[in-house]
Each structure stands twice: as structure tokens, then as C-alpha cells.
Structure 1
């Protein structure tokens, strides 16, 4: 009996040791760094950017080969298109290392439901990849552009997005989980960064594009793409996108250009921006207050101002505050009245403020929102003026 029990325990241990039954060797996989989704007529088209490991890993890369390859397949569904890719790729595509998902403009206009559903369900993929919309180009065309400095174009897109978000503010990195959360609002609205081909799009997929000092085709981020009810409805300009980041408390660093009293300009570096949004109800009539506290340094000046005087700094603070406030009001009007989307999630602010009052107006929110009263206050403080505090112009 003891031998029988021992035998059963041994079998159980052996079963637990079989954890590598589904392992796959690296040389059996095609590492996907980026995925593109387009709609062509009634068919879905999947494009994948796959690393050429011999080029990326080798210190002596061959000039006859490119660092990445792109493959494309069409199907009646996204899943069918993905499976059809295996008839083209020499190895099975492996999606766990994808950094970027690009949604083609036509696909975005039709709706992202099927795209989100696919990547949510995929057990092999991750949810921390960045989602981007292609503007005036297909996702396939974007993925075909070779980029200088970064051998893998997906890495270029990923790093450019993060750097631009940190020092410019007109872009915003959005991962799958963030997008799904944003689309869970009443009007299912969200924003995504957009990217386009700057220059000669036809030259982007030739190796000569990375062999010239000035690449004929470059990938460039533009304004934020606006979604409502899961569909692309328009774009904010670069300046409006930066204003949106101010309003949404996403500015890490950026700049302002202020006109001097008589001639010339002052450039300032925004080093800190904090936005607080509060909701109010008066007789079930909602309103919103937005307070921005901004810190800046003087970066460049081309007019005769004495920055050692407190009245000069006070005047600079007031002019900067007014300029930012007026611009934010114009952008908010575009978001509220032109696109009529609650991108800043005012509904959630009002719900947190007074959930009972919110429940009473909730059914009328989409009608109330475009005319919602929003008060914006901007308070700018200049912290640094540099070592050259006086400028004399002849």
C-alpha cells in the first residue's frame, strides 16, 4: 500500500514538473514590434513590423539588409487576417513585445470596437502598448517607413512619443487600459496621438531614406485624434492639443512665447503646471471651475526689459496668465461646442461633487454639456530669469 501511495505521489510531482511543455525557442519566433490595423473595402488588413535579428543584434550589420520587415494580410475579420500572416512569415509572429499599435484613419472612422475587442482577448499580448492613429496615411504606410538613428521604427515612434509628451505637451501616450477606461464615459470619448508621414511618403520604405543627412520621409506626431462613440470624429491642432494637456493636468514641461510691450518676444520655459478641476451645483444647474498654477523660467528675450525689477516680473506673470487663459478658453469652446465631447471628464467631476444632484441631471448630460459654464483661472509665477538680467538693444 505504501508503495502504491508513493507511486501516485511521484506521478503528481512529475506532472508539476512539466511546466515547459509549451516553450518556444527564440529562433522559432518572429518578434513583432508594431502592429497596424487598416480597413480596405470590406476587409480588415493587418500589418506587422518584425525585427531582423541578424541586423539589430550584429555590430557589423550588412548594408544589404534592412533592420525590420513588414508583412500584410487581409481577412473578413481581424483574427482571420492575423492567422493568414503565417502563410507569409517564415516564423510564427510573437506579439508580446509589440510597443505600438497603429489604427488606420479609415479604420478609426468606422470604429475601434473590433480592434479593442481583439487585443483585450489576446492572452499572448500585453495591455501596456501605445495606441496611435495614422493621419493622411494608412497604418501599413506608417509601418513601412525606415527611420534614422533608431534601427527599429517602432522604437523611434515609442521614444518620440514619450519625449514629445515630456517636453512639448502636444502629444499624449495612451495605452490600451487607459483607452478602455476613457471610452467607458457617457459619450464614449477619448483622445489618441496621431502620426503622419512628413515629406515624400513614397521614399520611406527605401534604404536610401536612412542613408541621407535629411531623410526624404520622416514620421512626425501631430495633433490629438478625437473619438466619440468609439469613432474618430476629428483632430485638435498641435496648439489645441497642448492646451488640452494643460486642462487635463498632463503638462510636464513646455514653453510660451510672449510679445514684448513694444517690440520683440520673450520665450519662457514652463517647468511646472498643476490643474485642479472642481464641480458645482446650484439648483441642479452644473458648472465647472478650473484652476491652473504654473511656474516658468525666462529662456530667451529680445527686448529691452530689466528683469531685476519686481514690477517687470509681475507684468510678465500677468501677460503670460492672460495669454494662456484666453487660449484655453478657445480650445475648451472647440471641445465643448464644435466636437461636443466630454474629453476632460467633467461628468466624473460632477458625480464626485454631488452624486445625488448628478443622478438627477445625468439623463440630460449630453444636452447640457455643450453649454456647461466653465470658469478658468490661471496663475503664473516666474521662478528664474537666468544670469543675463538686462538686455540692451541698439
Structure 2
């Protein structure tokens, strides 16, 4: 092939190559860190916490006029007959295309949660620009109000909120985190139940904070906190569980990753002991008991003793064993509290229905229509094996050593 023929061939091949005709430049995107869902009548009210690139480029809390720092995010709200229509209304006041791939958390307003969140879940599973791994929270108010609050010392409130949820789930486990796909799985399971952590604003400020260092305060007058567990039956919110009740459900559902538990002993001191749980495993096995079912709950946990309230010598195995028994009783009580709360609110939060269905499919077929009442008759057989691996350096509580020194000094 001569040179001219080769050039013609190269030219024709270039025509077949696809170009970037539908590209979107970075400076045209509005990267969304958090999204809020509210309902007002029949309309959806959507709120977006969008990152402000110009402030982020300056640094955390870029300085504006007057020396005050500016928030790294901008929050705006739109209404629409559907969720997507409300999102499209954002272009009435926003010059950037909303980009949801970096959304860390979504907040459900209480009115939207009570009416039903099936449309929210449908949106996340139907569209490829929404991630189903986003963390879910609920608020006993408007989601838009939560998104307008800044979290001091953090540059991106939405990202900081998601980190709060993850850290609580990993180190406390009283309000375990839940993602969009997990929420969808649980409310469509045989139990048809799910728990969502509540985010609440506490403090004296009714409006949003305008800067991270307003008036150079060393502590913010208001803050966002994780408060309770919102309970869903199907796609609708039906009530709340407090932290201790939620902690019991976490044990029953094998969601305790790490936690610190204070428990009492029979020592005369009356002081509590504290243990840091480093490993925990819960196994739930359904067993038939006549026409009813009994759930055998087997828990194995281990951890390190952080505080000793007992006066006993902790170098003696029998005293450690007694503390382990006291700890096992405390965990058993916590699980029973969680189970009683589930029965009170009328929702199978521990997910016993799914386990019965797998082991006794024929029995489940007969009872699934009446499970909302039958599950309250289920009895628990709880067996907890606790192990204290590290009692610490002191043989006895420091208070006991100090009292011994005082007596010897006399």
C-alpha cells in the first residue's frame, strides 16, 4: 500500500472513533454529599447538600468577608409531584448538574417516612446515578432542617454525619447503621421490619449555623446527635425504640461489632464494672415447642476489663469467672429488653420469621398470614458465654489498694 492509501485508511478509521460528545466537565457538576426527603401534602420536598468547590479550594472553611469562614456546602430545597421532578426543579436556582455518586447519607423526614418510602427505594434501584450503598437516617422533623446544620470541626457535614453513623455502629452498636439495599432487603423479607437510626439536632439555635467558628466559640451551641432507632413495618415508619432497646435488638440480630458495657456485681462497693467488647457472635436457632416456636439464642463474647468496681482479687480465676457470669446476665437482660420492645411495638425486628421460614418452610406457609400476632408468643432461650481476656495490671480496684494503704499507715 502506498503512502496516500495509508493516509486515506487512517482518516477513515478516525471517522469511526466515538468522540466525547456527551461529556460533562467537572466544573459543571454539583457534587451532592447528602440528600433529604420530605413530604408536604402530595408533593415531595427534596433537599440537597452540595459541595462548594471555591471554598474547598481555599481550605476547610474558606475565609470570606469580615474574616468569617464560609460553609463548604450549599443547601437548597425544591418541590415536585415526584422525586425526579423535584430534582429537575433544582435547575431553577442551581447552575450545576446534580451528581449523586458521592452522596454519603440520605435523611428521611418523619412525614415522608410515615406515608411510605417505596418511591425513595424505587428511585435508588432504578437509576444508575444513585448508589444503593448510601447510609439511611431518619429525623423526627424535616430532613431539610438537618441538612442545613453544620458539624463543627468537619468540612463536609454530610460526610461527617455518615462517619458518625459508621463509628457508632463499629464502636457502640446501639444504633447499627443501615444502607439503602439493606433497608430494602429487610422490609421485603418475611419479617418485613427494619430499624433506621434517628439523627436529631440539640441546642439553642433554631436556624442553621452560618460558619464553623461563629464568634470564635470553642463549642457549638447546637449539634447533631444520633438519638433513637426508627422502626419500619414494610415501607412505613411506625414508632421508636430507645438506645437500650435498640441495643438489645443489635444483640439479637448479631450486629454488635464492638461496645462498652457497664455491669454490676454483688460486691459491697456498689460500683459498676466496665468491659470493652472486642468480639461478639450471636447464633439464633428456631425450635418447635408444640404449636409454638422457641428461639435458642447462643451468644459468645469476649473483651477487656476497663473499670473494676469489685473489691475482689482479679488475679484469682474464680473471681474473674464471677465477673463473667455477671456480664452474661447483663447481656441477657439487654436482649430481653430488646425483645419486649419489639413485641410492644408489634414488629419482628429480630427477624425470627426469616429463620423459621428457612428451617420449617411448611410450618411457615401455614402461619405467615398471622405472624404479626403469632411472633409475640415466641419464647427465648438465651445462653450467653462471656470471656474476660484481659483484667488489667491491678489485682484489685485502685480504691481498694488506696484503702489498704491508708489502714497500713495508721
TM-score by length of 2: 0.88
**Alpha-carbon distance change, 103 to 310 in structure 1, aligned in 2, over 3 angstroms:** same
- Give the secondary-structure state (helix, strand or coil) at the position aligned to 2:63: coil
Q: Which residue of 2 aligns with 1:164?
A: 168
Choose from 224, 234, 239 the match for 1:229: 234
Q: Distance in 2 between matches of 1:344 and 1:10?
A: 66
- Contact kept, 8 Å, 1:253 with 1:271, in 2: the verdict is yes
Partner of 1:4: none
State the partner residue of 1:242: 247
Deviations 1:278-311 (A, max 9, x none): 1122455332111111112110124422101112
How far apart, CA to CA, are the structure 1 residues paired with 2:338 and 2:176? 17
Aligned to 1:30: 30
Match of 1:289 in 2: 296
Provide the C-alpha distance between the structure 2 equivalents of 1:101 and 1:301, rounded to a whole number of angstroms. Answer: 41
1:3 corresponds in structure 2 to: none
2:339 corresponding residue in structure 1: 332
**Deviation of residue 108 (structure 1)?**
0.6
* Residue of structure 2 in register with 1:275 after alignment: 282
- Structure 1, unpaired ranges of 5+: 1-6
CA–CA distance in structure 1, aligned partners of residues 19 and 225 of structure 2: 45
- Give the superposition deviation at 1:153: 0.2
Which residue number in structure 1 is paired with residue 48 of structure 2?
Answer: 48
Question: Residue 63 of structure 2 aligns with which residue?
Answer: 62
Between the aligned partners of 2:115 and 2:78, the Cα distance in structure 1 is: 19
- Output aligned runs, 1:281-320, within 5 Å: 281-283=288-290, 285-320=292-327
Once superposed, which parts of structure 1, at least 4 consecutive aligned residues long, lie more than 6 Å away? Answer: 7-13
**Alignment partner of 1:365 out of 365, 371, 394:** 371
What is the 5 A alignment of 1:105-254? 105-135=110-140, 137-186=141-190, 188-207=192-211, 211-254=216-259
Contact residue 49 and residue 73 of structure 2 kept, 8 A: yes
TM-score normalised per structure 1: 0.92
Is 1:351 the counterpart of 2:352? The answer is: no
Deviation at 1:324, TM superposition (A): 1.5
CA distance in structure 1 between the aligned counterparts of 2:328 and 2:303, rounded to whole angstroms: 11
1:376 to 382, 387, 401: 382
Instruction: Give 3-state SS (helix, strand or coil) of 2:22's partner.
Output: coil
Q: CA deviation at 1:251?
A: 0.8
Structure 1 stretch displaced more, 119-128 or 23-32:
119-128
Max Rg structure: 2
2 CA distance for matches of 1:13 and 1:370? 70
Q: Retained in 2: the 8 A contact 1:73–1:84?
A: yes
**Deviation string for 1:323-349 (max 9, x for gaps)?**
2212211220110x2112122221111
1:182-226 deviations in Å (ceiling 9; x for gaps): 111235321111100021242533216664211111111112110
Counterpart-to-counterpart distance in 2, 1:125 and 1:10? 40
Give 3-state SS (helix, strand or coil) of 2:386's partner.
Answer: strand
Per the alignment, in what secondary structure is the counterpart of residue 207 of structure 1?
coil
Q: CA 1:127–1:10 in 2, change beyond 3 Å: closer, same or farther?
A: farther
Work out the CA distance in 2 between the residues paired with 1:334 and 1:171: 15
Check conservation: 1:281, 1:357, Cα contact below 8 A.
no
Alignment CA distance shift 1:386-1:88 (3 Å): same
CA distance in 1, matches of 2:189, 2:19: 42
The two structures, once aligned, show a CA RMSD in angstroms of 2.4
